[in-house]
Chains A and B, each alone.
Chain A
Amino acid sequence: MRRLDGIDLLFAALVISVSFAPLMSVPGWQGYGPFGEYACNCGQYFVRFSDPTTGTDRPHVFASYNGLLVDVIQVSDQASSVDGLNLYSNFTARPRIDGGGLEVSYSSHSLNFTKHVSVSNEAVKVSYTFGKNVTALFTLWRWYYASIGHFDRPLTREISTAGDINFTFFDQGALFNASVSASPRPVQARISGIEGAGLNKIALAFNGTKIDMTMTLDAVKPVAGVGVLDVGSTYYAYPIIGVGLSATYLVIRRKLGGRNK
């Protein structure tokens, strides 16, 4: 065995320090990715807004639960339209970080409007502002809802638009209760799903010049006796890997040094 030198120790320190980076939360909206994705690590919620190539996850709402991220709900541009124009196919969308939120400008040959996504500790609010009265259809996906309102079977049906739309889902060994409130009141709300899998879609139709949808996680009820460790949702794996590899490096260096003597 031999003593480690400065290069060994500096390298181990570098690997360990870089491995802790994912634990460092950069607050507010941040942009990343090859084409421009955005994400907001905002208290209870983590919200992602996908790049223009995707068309789904615009935004995608996650909630923090026991240090893990739980998929709550997402707005799909691919299955949403305004005055018959599909948001993904017929519009060019340009997101910008604007104050405390994300402002997305949609433009087409005949219509321009904005979508504003803001996140607070209580809720995620998606607001659409049009320059005129429009007919809009917005679709909210999840794979899968345990129930929407009083329904849990994946049949296509209309549900009441009076009051909030409540839904539940299972994740990380717990049952979550969440809701969507809309203003103005939707003219129609339709739910549907996949036979054998579950409900996965809420489609809300509106008439108006300004439309707000607010998504809120209301309650969590653990149902599994033992918490499920989901490595994919936790950032602690990075420092564990970094420390482990640094230790491995140092051990090998010491052993090699011993054999060199």
Chain B
Amino acid sequence: MRAVVPVIIGLSIRLALAPFFMHAWDMTTITLATNQFLSAMNPYTYFAQQSTQLAQTSGLPLPYYGFAYLATTLVIYAPFYALYTALGFAPIPLIGWQGQPGQTLGLVYPDAFYMLFLLKLPVIAADTIAIYLLYRKNGRAGWTYALSPYVIVITCLWGNFDPLVGVLLFVSYLAFDKSKLGSGFAFGLSMMKIYTIVAAPAFLISIGRKPRELLAFLGGAVVANAPSIYYIYSNPSSFLSVFVFQASRPTSGLNIYHSLLAVRSISWELSLAPIISGIFAVAAGIAVFMVWRFKLELKESIILLLLVYLVFAPVANEQLLAALVPLGLISRNFSHKLTIFPLVFIAFNGLYLYFATPIFFGSSSLLATFVAVNGWWTSIIGPYATQAQYAIGAAMGVACLLLARSTFEGPFKIRWSLTRLEPAPKAPLRGR
């Protein structure tokens, strides 16, 4: 019963903030793709077309950063978007953004408030479930998730669905001992952002040589991805373009590779992409071997593999950490203090794209204020932004690897002074 208090507080904060903020790019990606899905258009075909058009316009092998996720995402968002349009609001309330690549955000209808509120509901609902489940396991973990500034930013200020991915991973872990089918289904849903596939070996190793359980788990994952199977069947080449994009995109985000952006050469970055992917593959392979060799607990295995992803994968955007938080809060090889890194990193992005809010487009004077503040902040951080982001990204890589390695060596708590490092007892491994 006491779980009601953090649930209500966490839910209230999220509902209050949801209508007023957005990551303009990511929210319009979801809006546009869901609109296409409900209009019987293929978002993957659109993705492939836009990639071709961008390459023709720019003369460069640039990837188009559109809807590049599995189709379960569309099924989850569709009812909320359908409700939004059924209420008579503009189908795409943002003019001059994702629908028209190469254009800056020009006009925001007041309808955007309703769109943001409704489209963020599935992620807010997932957050609410996470608070409840975490509180039941550990009261402090429940409160931490309810009040986590990072999770609130990603769920409500940006509107990304990585927290939903994290909750599905968490549910998959919770269901694992009771139902392999249910666990596989939740894990399959979590693959809406393809990166969670790196956690698959953790589940498969835990199942071990039990064919029936393995079949049930895989069956659940396949059923969860039935919408994607439909798109593979209907237009395999355009669906494949998403995987090609995800596998070959240049480095970006919050990682040790951020310095490569300073070279400013897409052809050079793309030529390095196979090497960086190779480094990640080797690191992930070693991590999987360690999971198998040391028979780690499932939750620590999942966190370990995702930490390795954060350290070595070519792309680790700010929101990705949200997928680790629910499970991480009950794992010994995770620290919620990691969330400070993406929060600081976000501050070094331009305001226009990352905190574009419909509120500021409500009147010309508010917009002028917004533009002025944006210009002022950009002029302050502009000369230092890439260096600062590299420092934050690389520091996060270091912290993630320290946590990943603590999986085998006992708990490591992030403290801000070397002299106060937590003494680490021997790791409670299940067997060697």
Tell me the A residues contacting B by CB distance below 8 Å: 7, 11, 14-15, 18-19, 21-22, 24, 26, 30-37, 39, 51-53, 94-97, 230-233, 235, 237-238, 241-242, 245-246, 248-249, 251-253, 255-257, 259-260
CB B67 to nearest CB in A, in angstroms, measures 15
- Determine if B269 and A252 form an interchain contact, defined as CB atoms under 8 angstroms apart: no
Please choose the segment from B99-107, B169-177, B231-239 that sits at the chain A interface, where 4 or more of its residues have CB less than 8 A away. Answer: B99-107
> Which single residue of chain A is at the shortest CB-CB distance from B63?
A34
B382 at the interface (CB under 8 A from A): yes
CB B211 to nearest CB in A, in angstroms, measures 34
Residues on B with C-beta less than 8 A from A232 are 382-384, 387
B394 at the interface (CB under 8 A from A): yes
- Determine if B394 and A31 form an interchain contact, defined as CB atoms under 8 angstroms apart: no
- Determine if A242 and B259 form an interchain contact, defined as CB atoms under 8 angstroms apart: yes
- Determine if A26 and B265 form an interchain contact, defined as CB atoms under 8 angstroms apart: yes
User: Which range holds the interface residue count of chain B?
Assistant: 35 or more
Residues on B with C-beta less than 8 A from A245 are 391, 394-395, 398
Given A31-B265, A231-B384, A235-B262, the answer on whether A95 and B58 have CB atoms closer than 8 Å is: yes
- Determine if A259 and B418 form an interchain contact, defined as CB atoms under 8 angstroms apart: no
The contact sample of 20 A-B pairs, CB cut-off 8 A, is: A11-B401, A15-B394, A18-B257, A19-B259, A26-B265, A32-B265, A33-B62, A35-B62, A37-B264, A94-B56, A95-B58, A238-B262, A241-B394, A242-B259, A249-B402, A252-B402, A252-B418, A253-B402, A255-B418, A259-B423
CB A146 to nearest CB in B, in angstroms, measures 19
> Which single residue of chain A is at the shortest CB-CB distance from B272?
A21
Count of A-B contacts judged by CB separation below 8 Å? 131
- B65, B410, B424: which contacts A34 (Cβ < 8 A)? B65
Residues on A with C-beta less than 8 A from B397 are 15
Residues on A with C-beta less than 8 A from B266 are 30-33
- B259, B395, B402: which contacts A21 (Cβ < 8 A)? B259
Residues on B with C-beta less than 8 A from A22 are 259-260, 262-263
- B57, B260, B265, B406: which contacts A30 (Cβ < 8 A)? B265
A52 to B54 Cα, complex, angstroms? 11
Residues on A with C-beta less than 8 A from B426 are 260
CB B154 to nearest CB in A, in angstroms, measures 21
- B65, B387, B401: which contacts A237 (Cβ < 8 A)? B387
- Determine if A36 and B279 form an interchain contact, defined as CB atoms under 8 angstroms apart: no
B52 at the interface (CB under 8 A from A): no
B59 at the interface (CB under 8 A from A): yes
B81 at the interface (CB under 8 A from A): no
Given A238-B387, A238-B390, the answer on whether A32 and B412 have CB atoms closer than 8 Å is: no
A18 to B393 Cα, complex, angstroms? 12
B297 at the interface (CB under 8 A from A): no
A94 to B102 Cα, complex, angstroms? 12
Task: Give the interface SS of chain A, mostly helix, strand, loop or mixed.
Answer: helix
A24 to B424 Cα, complex, angstroms? 41
Given A34-B65, A36-B62, the answer on whether A260 and B424 have CB atoms closer than 8 Å is: yes
Given A31-B266, A31-B267, A233-B383, the answer on whether A21 and B394 have CB atoms closer than 8 Å is: no
CB A47 to nearest CB in B, in angstroms, measures 12
B347 at the interface (CB under 8 A from A): no
Residues on B with C-beta less than 8 A from A257 are 409
- Determine if A35 and B54 form an interchain contact, defined as CB atoms under 8 angstroms apart: yes
CB A19 to nearest CB in B, in angstroms, measures 5
Residues on B with C-beta less than 8 A from A53 are 102-104
B256 at the interface (CB under 8 A from A): yes
Residues on A with C-beta less than 8 A from B410 are 260
A238 to B412 Cα, complex, angstroms? 27
B403-430 residues at the A interface, CB under 8 angstroms: 405-406, 409-410, 412, 418, 421, 423-424, 426
> Told that A31-B267, A95-B58, A256-B409 touch, could you supply 9 new A-B pairs with CB distance under 8 A?
A35-B54, A35-B62, A53-B104, A235-B262, A245-B394, A256-B424, A259-B424, A260-B424, A260-B426
A231 to B279 Cα, complex, angstroms? 30
B1 at the interface (CB under 8 A from A): no
> Which single residue of chain B is at the shortest CB-CB distance from A230?
B383
- B59, B256, B261, B390: which contacts A14 (Cβ < 8 A)? B256
- Determine if A256 and B264 form an interchain contact, defined as CB atoms under 8 angstroms apart: no
- Determine if B265 and A18 form an interchain contact, defined as CB atoms under 8 angstroms apart: no
CB B298 to nearest CB in A, in angstroms, measures 23
B268 at the interface (CB under 8 A from A): yes
B86 at the interface (CB under 8 A from A): no
A238 to B56 Cα, complex, angstroms? 33
> Which single residue of chain B is at the shortest CB-CB distance from A54?
B104
A259 to B423 Cα, complex, angstroms? 6
- B56, B261, B262, B398: which contacts A249 (Cβ < 8 A)? B398
CB B412 to nearest CB in A, in angstroms, measures 6
